[in-house]
Structure 1
Amino acid sequence: MKHFDKNMVYIRKLRPFHSILNKNHVIPWMLPEGASARFGRGSVQGIAVSPDGVYLVVATNIGLWWYEFATMQPIALWETERGMVSTISFSKDGQWIATGNADGVIKVWDVQHSVCVAQMQRDKSRFPGIAHLTFSPDSQRLATTGIRDAIVDVWDPETGSSRAKFYEDQINLRVHKRPVAFSTDSCLLACTETIDFQSTADSISVWDLVRGECIANLTEHTDFVESLCFSPCNRFLASGGGKGTVRVWDMNTWQQHETYLDYGEFRMRVSYSHEDVLYAVAVSRDTAIVWDVKRGEKCYAYVEGQGNLQSVHFSSDSRFVVAGAHEWLVWTDRNSQSHRFPHLHPTFSDSVAFASDGKTLVSGSRNESIKVWDIATPSQQPICFNLPGKNYSVSMSTCGEFHATGIDRNTVNLWKIGEKTPRASFAFSDKKREATVSAFSPTSNLLACGDTEGSLHVWDVSSGNKQHLLIHRLSSEGDWIKSITFSETGKQLVSISNRGPRVQLWDLERDEEIHEFPGHHIHTVAFSPCGGFIAGSLFGEIRLWAASTYEIHLAIRESQGCQKPFALTFSPCGQYLASGESWQRGRVKVPIRLWNVASGEVITSFWGHPTDIQDLAFSSDGALLASGGLDGTILLWDMEPFIGS
């Protein structure tokens, strides 16, 4: 059932923001307390060019970055208190910029005076994250949509009060960023809704904002609608579908005026130019193509060869910006040459490791390249190594060599970082099995891999022989091995399944299971350097078992609100344990804690990442702790004030 609701709660709260104008010193900007360096500027969630073409603004997981469009140099960082900015939009006159975040908070900023003038909160009882927001052409309204429902809120951007609300009662559990658009005269609003709960297509509703009535319901789309745009002449509404379709409706009759169906499986983002020319950006995982729809001509094309596209932006004055895996690609108009600028916005790091000399940091991720960072110059571009496959995990050998493991369907590979060909490559004889996770023990020179059938394969890298085939007991059909961890000596291995999960400890010398940790929902494990303890992260608790008896040595209860320890690592001396949390609703930042292993007391806590901590690593001397976050950054923390030299 559709509703039009004008009686909404008004929420307004001013917040301070930060603006840094010295572009020669980027990394120290807004560093969290206790952090000594930041690598990366946060993964890109959205981009926009200011109406005057002077600035590129980038929504990231750590805040809102401002760049000079001509040079692509950063000049300011806003909204760092929470971060997690999911979408942005300028008003037509450039006076305001609106931001929406993953918690459902919408803010309107006065660009000229750099102040927040209004703050609104989306309904927290649903899925509050903001998917899209857009100003009306007269700047009198701001419309916002969510990720998993068909609610459209319309706000007064100057006061933060609600002006209207369009919604369905039904929540759609499918993640979908629903588009919304205003007509040129600011009198109509177009939005989408799912035809029914099981549907794989959207309908488009058009609302008269003056009368509060739905004046059209367009059901011709056979796919989900990705974008909406009214023509400047106020005669047409264009929509882009999720499977290569573009449709144009006549606003006088609301009948289809034109249909274009030949763009393949691309997601189509439609946009009219000031001259009423309809363009569509065809977007896939690694490709973006701008089409002149009427003429059927390609205007721009970009193919990302080193990962996934992060975001694209095409403006009404034909400026086209692509955020690739490692670079910006910019066209200022249809007749210009493209310009490439490297950027520091990686997606996120699943694993991190220090060089033995403490001068270099290496990070690996699920679907991007291996990155090598110079610790002394965190604002410099990392050296990137593009490897086939996915789920890269990095480690350092005792002789100072960095290694990376990665999986590619039924094959697991081991590289020495910097070399083009793998040092070892092993494949399953059963082609139906797929690798799910891999790990390397530099001490024992063993490479291990888990698969979709619950088997653990362990190879000797030196001889190339398979040393072990172990069977992990899966909880149910469709379960798989999600994590494997070697002990410091490489003689033991822990495997964790995805469901349950079941956690099993293996003795590789005896080729047998020696213990199962029953009844515990363990997310991850870590071995102490001396081999005396095995640490495991449970819901609301960190537990240490004696490695010789498997009896509980210590159970550390987390504080209220910190119930999901996710990453664990021991200090090189084994006297300290660092833990990193997963994000929980209500948290502004996610804690990293340093524990005394003997007493179980927390020594200190660091609050820097706005979302999940993916991995933690100490430098070899224990003086630094690196935290890799789902936010797309790595933070360095100085340990000497807390644990000494």
Structure 2
Amino acid sequence: MFATISVVVVFVIISNSPNTSSQDSTQWNLPDGAKARLGKGLINEIQFSPGGTRLAVASSMGIWIYGAYTGQELDLFKWHKGNVYSVAFSPNGNTIATGSDDRFILLRDTRTGTHIRTLNYHKDSVMKVVFSPDGKTIASGSKDNTLRLWIVKTGKHIHKLTGHTDDVVSVAFSPDGNIVASGSLDRTIRLWNTKTGKLIRTLTGHTNHVMSVSFSPDGNIVASGSMDGTIRLWNANTGTQLRTLNEDPIAGFSVSFSPDGKTLASGDTYGTIRIWNVKTGKLIRTVTGHTSYIHKVVFSPDGKTLASGSMDGTIRICFANTGTHLNTFKGHTFFVDSVAFSPDGNTIASGNGDGTIRLWNTKTRTHIRTLSGNMLFVNSVVFSPDGKTLASGSLNRSHAIRLWNTKTGEQIHTLTGHTDYVRSISFSPDGNTLASGSDDVTIRLWNAKTGDHFRTLTGHTKDVTSVSFSPDGNTLASGSRDDTIRLWNANTGIHIRTLTGHTKHVLSVSFSPDGKTLASGSVDHTIRLWNTNTGTHIRTFTGHTSYSHSVSFSPNGKTLASGGRKEIRLWNVKNGEHILTLTGHNAAVSEVSFSPDGKTIASGSHDGTILLW
């Protein structure tokens, strides 16, 4: 009877939502001025509804609701103004709680979707929220190093639990609700009395961050997963360590007991789920399929299935007893650090923090393919002028640049020679040359057809963060963490002049379509315009309250777009006036780009999404 009621309750909030009638989730809950959203953001946590029919996903852009077995997108809730780290259903399914980097805990009625109350005593991001077994209390863990206990019915703050010396990232109630366990980046687990708020004991032994804690259903065991590569089982009554599970020394991001308490599931940094026998500590089976680290593993309420969420952008559902794969929910994305339109405007390429490049169809707003190949954090992507080749730079250990066939997704060339991370790449207008800027303080020029290196430009004294060719191909501009911009003769490699005026690192440089003006964005929160013929400073745009990560001219040269902290600003190039601010991202805007026809702006963000405006 209880399970039936829970199913109905969670169904009500979904069926009453205007999003459920829409077949295209790229249109759901868009900010003002946006036309579409590509990507669903980073998976932070997943939770089954009490009836087991729905799966809630806390992500960097909101809370997604899925059919737990069908994978159907049912809704997207944009309740917070930041990254949502945690989501929890009350035991009766009537309330959903969420915690975010906006420091708030929000309670919503699942039957109506209405806001119940906001809990807001934390001083930093809320990393975890969890209901007590009777549903009367909420415990929350935060980056402010504290836990807090709250009365659900009134929102009253009961206790502030202090003692951890670093972020509290995991919290779990004992089955009787009398104890709450907390896991912290300070490498410890602490057990607290929920009635008094007093510390009972501290469990020590982990040698790196504790990422996850969980009570066994009988309350006698606490399991902990750590970045030290071990999973540890502890006697909850005495604090004694029972055993260490470490078949392989691989960091455990998440641990979860089965409802019968006989098995423990763990997810690791390499995308593997391991199922353990709690009584013997023996590994029962290994479940593979993910390609990157697993944020969360959780059993369904009936214990028959296991859900896992990974940095690879997928949620996988499998049978708990056999590990057999049931379904994969796709579309979630890690940090977007670079975006570029193809010359015909039909494709967008995005460079992502998970080491992949994704190609998107701008007309259908669908994912075309993913390019991958031993890369870490792809921070620069650019199409060749004919659109047939895509170049990418990333923070990989080989410091290589890769060239890809855009039609087939095959890798064409790997360009090596830089001795540190590649931060920026740019094709010459004729497509024959590729320029790259690196943390090795150099700019390298490459033959884009053969991949051969033919010239190195030196002069900057710190990392080269941005490179850009002028429209005629005769000049190359470079921005650096030495706070300067340098102009170079692209044909000879001779230094033309240095532009000074920024007071902090220059992060982005871009030529106007006529080549007469150069725009630069900086850590000093300003954008500057420069005369490229004389090097004279024309004007400064102010208004960003954080780094200006990216600048881009419209094709007609009349408008400049700049990306900053959660916002895109549009400026009148001629008079310097601020035209409009576009908001809607939940994290820093890493890059902005105009479509070739000037009708669309694409913005990539560390919230894992691309917005089309």
| Number of the residue aligned with 1:417 | 406
Distance 1:568 1:358, change over 3 A: same
Indicate whether 1:509 and 2:509 are aligned. no
Q: Distance in 1 between matches of 2:551 and 2:295?
A: 29
Q: CA separation in 2, counterparts of 1:188 and 1:277?
A: 21
> What is the SS of the residue equivalent to 1:178?
strand
Is 1:576 aligned with 2:563?
A: no
Q: Does 2:153 correspond to 1:158?
A: yes
Flag the 1:402–1:349 CA change in 2: closer, same or farther, 3 A. Answer: farther
Alpha carbons 1:130, 1:146 under 8 Å: kept: yes
- CA pair 288-513 structure 1, distance change in 2 beyond 3 A: farther
The corresponding residue for 2:67 is: 68
Residue of structure 2 in register with 1:586 after alignment: none
Name the structure 1 match of 2:4.
none
**Which is further off, 414-423 or 66-75?**
414-423
The 5-angstrom pairing of residues 42-191 of structure 1 reads 42-80=41-79, 82-124=81-123, 128-147=124-143, 149-168=144-163, 172=166, 176-191=167-182
Partners of 1:260 and 1:285 in 2: CA distance? 17
Letter in 2 for 1:569: S
Q: Give the residue type in structure 2 aligned to 1:59.
A: A
How far residue 532 of structure 1 moved from its aligned partner, in angstroms, is 0.5
> Quick check: 2:150–2:159 contact (8 Å CA) kept in 1?
yes
Distance in 2, Cα, partners of 1:414 & 1:251: 54
Deviation at 1:497, TM superposition (A): 3.4
> Which residue in the other structure is 2:327 paired with?
340
Query: In 2 relative to 1, CA 531–117 (structure 1 residues): closer, same or farther, beyond 3 Å?
Result: same
Letter paired with 1:214 = L
**How many Å apart are 1:542 and its aligned residue?**
1.8
Shift, 1:228, TM fit: 1.9
- What is the identity, as a one-letter code, of the residue corresponding to 1:129? S
Would the alpha carbon gap of residues 398 and 20 (structure 1) be closer, same or farther in structure 2, given more than 3 Å must change? same
> CA–CA distance in 1 between the matches of 2:416 and 2:323?
48
Amino acid aligned to 1:524: S
The structural deviation recorded for 1:181 is 1.7
Question: Counterpart amino acid of 1:203?
Answer: T
Give 3-state SS (helix, strand or coil) of 1:87's partner: strand
Amino acid across the alignment from 2:188? S
CA apart distance, 1:262: 3.8
* Contact 1:448-1:457 within 8 A present in 2 as well: yes
Q: Taking structure 2 as the reference length, what is the TM-score of the superposition?
A: 0.88
Say which SS state the counterpart of residue 623 (structure 1) adopts. Answer: coil
- Aligned residue type for 1:437: R
Tell me the TM-score normalized by structure 1: 0.84
Q: Which residue of 2 aligns with 1:289?
A: 274
Q: Note closer, same or farther for the CA distance 1:171–1:484 as it changes in structure 2 (3 Å cut).
A: farther
Match of 2:227 in 1: 242
Deviation at 1:577, TM superposition (A): 0.9
CA separation of 1:286/1:150 partners in 2, compared to 1, >3 Å: closer, same or farther? same
Q: CA deviation at 1:210?
A: 2.4
Report how far residue 137 of structure 1 moved. Answer: 0.8
Deviations 1:236-276, CA, capped at 9 Å, x for gaps: 33323322323333344333333434441221533322222
Structure 2 CA distance, aligned partners of 1:592 and 1:193? Answer: 35
Q: Is 1:265 aligned to residue 250 of structure 2? A: yes
Q: 1:36 to 1:252 in 2, by over 3 A?
A: closer
Cα deviation, 1:402-441, whole Å, max 9, x if unaligned, reads: 422235414322223234554333322x8xx234234131
Are the aligned partners of 1:291 and 1:299 in contact in 2 as well (CA < 8 Å)?
yes
Change (3 A) 1:371 1:622: same
**Gap change, CA 1:35 and 1:411, over 3 Å in 2:** closer
Match of 2:9 in 1: none
What is the CA–CA distance in structure 1 between the aligned matches of 2:221 and 2:561, rounded to whole Å? 58
Measured in 2, the distance between the counterparts of 1:554 and 1:289 equals: 59
- Alpha-carbon separation, structure 2, partners of 1:303 and 1:219: 33
Separation in structure 1 between the aligned mates of residue 244 and residue 574 of structure 2, nearest angstrom: 70
Q: Does 1:466 align with 2:449?
A: no
Shift of 1:285: 4.2
User: Structure 2 vs 1, CA of residues 565 and 268 (structure 1 numbering), >3 Å: closer, same or farther?
Assistant: closer
User: What is the aligned residue count?
Assistant: 588
SS at the partner of 1:523? strand
3-state DSSP of counterpart to 1:614: strand
Q: Is it true that 1:203 corresponds to 2:188 in the alignment?
A: yes
The answer as to 2:568 corresponding to 1:592 is: yes
Task: Give CA deviations for 1:279-326 in whole Å, capped at 9, x if unaligned.
Answer: 030411443333334352334512434x55565434562532233425
**Structure 1 unaligned spans of 5+:** 1-16, 195-200, 583-589, 638-645
Q: Is the 8 A contact 1:242 1:268 kept in 2?
A: yes
Q: Would the aligned equivalents of 2:230 and 2:246 in 1 still touch at CA under 8 Å?
A: yes
- 2:603 paired with 1:627: yes
Distance 1:568 1:502 in 2: 16
1:449-478 Cα shifts (integer Å, max 9, x gaps): 334432222122245543321224325xxx
Aligned equivalents of 2:497, 2:313: Cα separation in 1: 44
With 153-162 and 257-266 compared, the bigger mean Cα shift is at 257-266
8 Å CA contact 1:270, 1:278 repeated in 2: no
Which position in structure 2 is the counterpart of 1:401?
Answer: 388
Which residue does 1:224 correspond to in 2? 209
Q: Are residues 308 and 385 of structure 1, via their aligned partners in 2, closer, same or farther at CA, if it must alter by over 3 Å?
A: farther
Shift of 1:330: 0.6
Distance 2:38 2:467 in 1: 27
1:357 CA drift (Å): 3.3
Q: CA deviation at 1:550?
A: 0.9
Deviates more, 1:603-612 or 1:153-162: 603-612
SS at match of 1:447: strand
Using the TM superposition, give the Cα deviation of residue 535 of structure 1 relative to its aligned residue in structure 2, in angstroms. Answer: 0.5
Residue 423 of structure 2 contacts residue 437 of structure 2 at CA under 8 Å; is this kept in 1?
Answer: yes
Q: Is the Cα–Cα contact under 8 Å of residues 187 and 206 in structure 2 kept in the other structure?
A: yes
| Paired AA for residue 323 in structure 1 | G
After TM superposition, the structure 1 stretch with the greater mean CA deviation from structure 2, 67-76 or 316-325, is 316-325
Equivalent residues of 1:446, 1:490 under 8 A apart: no
Instruction: Give the structure 2 partner of residue 587 of structure 1.
Output: none
| Residues in 2 aligned to 1:82 and 1:63: alpha-carbon distance in whole angstroms | 9
* Alignment CA distance shift 1:239-1:556 (3 Å): closer
What is the DSSP-based 3-state SS (H/G/I as helix, E as strand, rest coil) of the residue aligned with 2:19?
coil
Amino acid in structure 1 at the alignment position of 2:515: G
Matched, 1:608 2:584: yes
CA distance in structure 1 between the partners assigned to 2:198 and 2:410 by the alignment: 63
Task: Give the SS at the match of 1:77.
Answer: strand
Amino acid at match of 2:406: I
* Residue 479 of structure 2 corresponds to residue 490 of structure 1: no
Q: Identify the residue that residue 352 of structure 2 maps to in structure 1.
A: 365
Kindly provide the CA deviation profile for residues 127-152 of structure 1, in whole angstroms up to 9, marking residues without a partner as x.
x11111211111121111113x4311
1:322 aligns with 2:308: yes
After superposition, the Cα gap between the structure-2 partners of 1:579 and 1:450, relative to the gap in structure 1 and judged at 3 Å, is: closer
8 A Cα contact 2:88 2:131, kept in partner: yes
Output the CA distance in 1 between the equivalents of 2:157 and 2:338: 44
Counterpart position of 1:302: 288
SS in structure 1 at match of 2:25: coil
**Paired amino acid for 2:485:** V
Alignment root-mean-square deviation, CA: 2.7
